[in-house]
Amino acid sequence: MQENRQDSDRSTNAIRMIIGAGDAIEFAPRRVDGSEFGLRLEDLTNIVDRRLSLRCLLPLPGIYRDRDGSIVKDGEPGTEDFESLKHSLSILEDAGWQTRLVLGKLLASSLTVDDNAVIFYEYLNMPPGPFFSTDPKEVAHYRIRFKYAWVRAFEASATEALYNQAKSFLRPPKNENIAILSNEAWTQLINRLSSNPRLLYELPPRKFEELIAELLNRDGLEVHLTPTTRDGGRDVLAFHQTPIGRLLYLVECKRFDPGRPVGIAIVQRLYGVVVHDRATAGLVVTTSRFSKESLTFGKTVQHQLGLRDYDALKEWLAKYGAV
């Protein structure tokens, strides 16, 4: 009786949230059928307003990402897992949801609606949930968590073979992954740029972002590129695992000509994004220089925002370039 009451409560909360949504619904269930939220996936898709921004992350069991970034199969998932995932993908696709797959099991699952409410589970806690909250801080926490998981996730199509053709099934979202170059190719490019930094101005803006991501990667950070458009003021997400926790740096890249300085508006915008996203700090990197106003503002927030101009970039390249 107690279990049935809990199922009823969480499904009631979920239905109320979904019906009242005015902007976006973000759904990240640990089970591919979404059943831990008290609703069948069919029920959720039937009552939702399709005009909203609808995004769902589903776990892909049996496959994980190795340390070198390659995709590795971890045994053979059962037929039931395969069919359940395929069925869920088909339902979401037909209902107009954007769906991506994450590798391995989620340690937390969530259903967020706008900035108003969240139902979440934390599977390392006892009990894991469900917990319902309208606290703006908790809602923002799970929306940010979803956003960064979305950047790392893979596009999916229910019509493709799931596990036997994993490489064709798992494909990075367009414009959201670092260009696949060998370590040797990056080394050659960095050597050339280190020897002749003026070649930086011949790089397309996106390639410049990829270069900065590679330099951050060589500094020991875990990096992810954001889409080429509507990145919200950050081109690269750089994560750093430390003994006290996982740190996040937001990086903005400006491949400007020498005569075009980075103005204060760009610097202030990134700082605002750092504060809004509760990131650890931000970094603006440019092939040009910073205006006097930008430098003055940068000094006031120097522990939360770094500025690297052309001269600093040359030193960075020289660090990994051939002697």
Q: In this predicted model, what pLDDT tens digit does every residue of 84-107 receive, in sequence order? A: 777 888 888 888 888 888 876 677
Q: Check pLDDT > 50 for residue 162.
A: no
- Please count the other Cβ atoms lying within 10 Å of the Cβ belonging to residue 86: 17
Q: What is the pLDDT of residues 113-157, one digit of tens each?
A: 999 999 999 887 888 888 989 999 999 999 998 988 887 777 664
Dist CA 26 CA 24 (whole Å)? 7
Give the pLDDT score at 104.
66
pTM over 0.85: no
For the record, the structure tokens of 265 come out as 């508006």
In contact, 287 and 200? CB cutoff 8 Å: yes
Instruction: Evaluate whether 4 touches 30 at the Cβ level (below 8 Å).
Output: no
In angstroms and rounded to an integer, the radius of gyration of the C-alpha atoms of the chain is 22
What's phi and psi for 190, nearest 5 deg? -65, -40
Q: Residue ranges of the domains in the chain? A: 2-169, 183-320
Lowest-pLDDT range of 136-140, 161-165, 187-191, 206-210: 161-165
DSSP state of 172: P
Q: Which CATH architecture has domain 2-169?
A: 2-Layer Sandwich (3.30)
What architecture is the 183-320 domain classified under in CATH? 3-Layer(aba) Sandwich (3.40)
